[in-house]
Amino acid sequence: MTTADSKPRVFSGIQPTSDSFHLGNYLGALRQWVALQETSDAFYCVVDQHAITVSHDPKVLHQRSRTSAAQLLALGVDPERSALFIQSQVPEHALLNWILGCETGFGEASRMTQFKDKSAKQERTTVGLFTYPVLQAADILLYQTDRVPVGEDQRQHLELSRDLAARFNNTYGRTFTVPEAYILKETATIKDLTEPEKKMSKSSSGPRGCLNLLDEPNQMRKKIKSAVTDSEAEVRYDAENKAGVSNLLVVYSALSGTAIDKLEDEYRGKGYGDFKSDLAELVAESLEPIARATREYLDDKAELDRLLTKGAEKARAVASRTLAKAYKKVGFYPPVAN
């Protein structure tokens, strides 16, 4: 759905499953969310309903949702240009999820690779975890989304969203925009600082391997300086043979805007000590303002809640129209207004 000002609509969400986003979230996706506001009609969501597909503490979830929203604002998501909201504030997500679940084959859901990965790590696997790609489809389709900024690891889920949109449209008549993947090809993939062969992750990285946006500056410096490198002393990009140094070069390039080959030239003949020391300062200087702004939003609860309510109202104005159309197409009675 291209809006009146000809901007394509984008939707993306992030789970509030930790006390802080990490450097990989920021460089891999969230910084691009901010940039997309310039060219898109953006809807950004803290997907707390997805977060309860595994065991959780309700009080912790509530606080993490607030902290996630505050961080998005601190990163530059502008509530005047984008709709920023908490998923559970917009009940249409759950209502459309049921309709789409009734259009999803059991075999389709069974083939979702992330369910296999996540269920293997859980003692108790829920139906919600099994069907959460359907809720993800509802998230996207509610907003008549043109483009979804995703990494390659989410492409399969987006394909399910596309399939469900097309299937529903073919069965009941045109209802949903069929979304396109917006793969950020130049996006940095940040690796674990202690195990650089794997992606930095909220769930699987250890405390030294995951650099959080809300870490104290000295914590950030310490994590960079203790990051795994190798027995050589050459600052050179070689992802296969020098994974640790290559990861740090990716971080340095992403934060500084300096090409990796230029950084290799700059540190030619210098040891890892100088390289890590300079990077540690760059990381601390780049991220500390984000942490400071996050604290300011969290300290003014009334203003943060006002911004989220405003975003949810904007989201519901779109979502309710889509849901009403889907209700009518499948033969439901319309919801009774409060």
Angle at 143 between CA 137 and CA 149, to 5 degrees: 65
| Beta bridge partners of residue 267, listed in sequence order | none
Q: Choosing from 116, 121, 202, 314, which is the catalytic residue? A: 202
Please tell me the distance from the alpha carbon of residue 34 to that of residue 30, in angstroms, as a whole number: 7
Please tell me the distance from the alpha carbon of residue 259 to that of residue 114, in angstroms, as a whole number: 33
Please tell me the distance from the alpha carbon of residue 317 to that of residue 313, in angstroms, as a whole number: 6
Q: Choosing from 7, 59, 116, 118, which is the catalytic residue? A: 118
Cβ burial 58-76 (10 Å sphere, 16+ → b, else e): eeebeebbbbbbbbbbbbe
**First-to-last CA distance in the chain?**
29
Longest dimension (CA), the chain: 73
The single residue listed with the structure tokens 């795994």 is 228
Asked if residues 65 and 46 have their Cβ atoms less than 8 Å apart, the reply is yes
Neighbours of 322 (CB within 10 A): 20
Please tell me the distance from the alpha carbon of residue 73 to that of residue 82, in angstroms, as a whole number: 10
Asked if residues 189 and 28 have their Cβ atoms less than 8 Å apart, the reply is yes
Q: Choosing from 7, 116, 199, 225, which is the catalytic residue? A: 199
Asked if residues 154 and 132 have their Cβ atoms less than 8 Å apart, the reply is no
Catalytic site includes residue 202: yes
Stretch (H or E) spanning 103: none
Catalytic site includes residue 242: no
Q: Which of 59, 58, 66, 57 has the alpha carbon at shortest distance from 89?
A: 66
Catalytic site includes residue 314: no
* Active centre residues (catalytic): 118, 199, 202
